[in-house]
Amino acid sequence: MAQKRENIHKYLFGHPFRTDSVVADIPVSAGEAPYLLRSQDETGEVFRYALSEEDRAYGLGEQVRGIDKRGWVYASWNMDDPEIHENRQSLYASHNFLVVDGKEKFGVFVDSPGKVVYDIDYTTRGEMAIFCGRDFGLYIIEGESVLDVIRTFRKMIGRSYIPPKFAFGFAQSRWGYMNETDVREVADEYGKCGFPVDMIVLDIDYMENYKDFTINGERFPDFPAFVREMKARGIRLIPIIDAAVKAEDGYSVYEEGCKGGYFCKDKDGKPFIVGVWPGDSALPDFLSPEARAWFGEKYRVLLDCGIEGFWNDMNEPSLFYSKDSLARTIRGIAEKEGKNLSLTEFWSITGSVARLANNADDYASFYHETEGGKVSHKEVHNLYGYNMVRAASEYFGKYDKDKRTLIYSRSSHIGMHRYGGIWTGDNASRWDHLLLNLKMLPSLNMCGFLYVGADIGGFGQDTTEDLLLRWTALGAFVPLMRNHCTFGSRRQEYYRFGNRQAFKNLLDMRYSLVPYLYSEFVKSALRDELMYTPLGFLYPDDERAKETEDQMFVGGSIMIAPVYRQNTRGRNVYLPEDMKMVRMRSVSDYTEEILPKGDHYVEMGFGEVVFFVAKGKAIPLAKPAKNVAALDEEHLLWIKYADGKTTYELYDDDGFTTDVREENIRTFTV
């Protein structure tokens, strides 16, 4: 029998689709939802809340703008569009949880797989309006503080994914590592420079004609042997898996999917054909348990080769076009051939081509087979990438139930946080994207996503050496530390730049921080806490702390304040209390200084990591090594800011076992 929880109110509207986002057994509440004023419009249910000038709204996971979400309209609608700027309303993920922080403190979770819109202080000053559609669950979570509300919500949705420990090492990636020679060159050059590295990531070029679960035999003639060769050097290969399956006779994955009925269907019950990297492709129906089991088992071909980690991409799902819409567009353009076109008519041509990708009509034109019957994809769009990762994760448990496998995804939805991590999509080599990377971290944690990261240096456009250095200094504190860029852009492997020593210092410092980062990460997962905490959450009576969004705590001991502006030698830092500033070039070359509460200008060199230790806290550091497995974590350096003794809870295990529990935590007296 479900236990009534007074601080969680649950309401159901229409006929909600089962998302499996919430794992706790919470009874439905009677009456109207507290705090929110309910109304209807042509889209369905609308909930409004009057915001005072002092109120703040936090959350929504992967979204643009600040940690406080007031002043903009946000839409939960997973979208593949690399033009990321503050005017966007949707990114690659949908995370429908936010917290209002004011005289009233409460969280709102809209459990919906379709589009949800949050108009927070934009259309009407002083009002938050949530447009929920017609079929959804609504949860109101009350608490004494923002952190209390978040902790309750995290318990509702289940424990966050914990990757293997090697996943906290550095990953070098690029779209364009075409063959064994390219990968060996990267490994060799990192080795020559003494740069630590744990993973090299393979984009779509390792496949045979972009077909999932295939290996190009010309480029990788003996893939299992190559995987063993790299692993002997301490490097794991992390291949990509895309969502769409090439529609090609003779391709076993496609033929099996057709025979088993595992693909999404058009209105006539045939596989819905879209264009992605392989050309004509079919979309696995990840909302079907049978299709998930079938697709998940396909990972075995790579697991049997010795692969221990994957990244899932194109799973919003991203559609370059549908076969039907492409044919209509071509016919429409052909009709204008030879005509004297006005500018408006010409724009209609370019516009029709631009609208081919990720078209709303296409999303409404194919269907899923579910336990409740046939459902239009448009109604459940945001669950697609989540269930792709779920398919893989569920099979990993069958392949080896005692071993953690690395997986992260571009698209996500709350619930996927139990199965894998995310990187935040196709960003660009821009300073504002570095800052956006920082601001997303606590919002993602709020929604259960702990294993997160952004493409260091930027995926699109051309990076610069100073941008890459500053981004790496932030990346040293982020779980998924991946340097990744696109084909045709400036190469951004660290050894290609002049200031190699600065890059080496930053990478070495990352590896020195692994004992702390891994420990804080796992404790956050086990205890449903944030790993990245804004100052305002910890110092709720300090208005300066609440307004400071470019600094945050990493775990319980460290505050970071990264540089995110070009051509600057440092930055202003606000300390909400006395702290110890640590300026570190290596574990044997660092300085400490106690700084009082208040404002400080702090110089930050390119080859050093500067962070702040909170009063009464300690951090463990290891000597850097070539990879995570080579770290000596028995002989740690401890840095503390305390009069006399203090303690630190260190989590450690073998890095692979699925038996992750509180008993693995040891308390050290420093």
The mean pLDDT of 645-658, rounded to a whole number, is 96
Residue range 43-67: mean pLDDT, rounded: 97
Q: Which of 168, 158, 154, 165 is nearest to 418 (CA)?
A: 158
| Number of Cβ atoms within 10 Å of the Cβ of 449 | 27
Average pLDDT value over all residues in the chain: 97
What tokens appear for 473 in the block?
């200094």
The CA–CA distances, whole Å, from 267 to 271, 355, 360, 365, 449 equal: 9, 22, 16, 7, 36
Mean per-residue pLDDT, 282-298: 98
Residue-wise pLDDT tens digits, 223-264: 999 999 999 999 999 999 999 999 999 999 999 999 999 999
pTM above threshold 0.85: yes
Query: What percent of the chain is predicted at pLDDT more than 90?
Result: 96
Give the model's confidence band at 5: pLDDT under 50 very low, under 70 low, under 90 confident, else very high. Answer: low
Q: Which residues of 225-241 are buried (b: 16+ CB within 10 A; e: fewer)?
A: ebbebbeebbbbbbbbb
If you average pLDDT over residues 296-305, what whole number do you get?
98
Closest to 475 in 3D by CA, of 168, 48, 233 = 168
**81-131: pLDDT as tens digits:** 999 999 999 999 999 999 999 999 999 999 999 999 999 999 999 999 999
For CA atoms 207, 210, 213, 214, the dihedral sign is negative
Closest alpha carbon to 109 in 69, 157, 64, 158 = 157
Tally of CB atoms within 10 A around 573: 22
Q: What is the rounded radius of gyration, in angstroms, for the C-alpha atoms of the chain?
A: 25
Q: Are 282 and 254 in contact (CB under 8 A)?
A: yes
Please, is 572 exposed, middle or buried when counting C-beta atoms within 10 Å of its C-beta (0-12, 13-18, 19+)? exposed
Contact, 146 vs 39, CB < 8 A? Answer: no
Tell how far CA 43 is from the center of its chain.
29
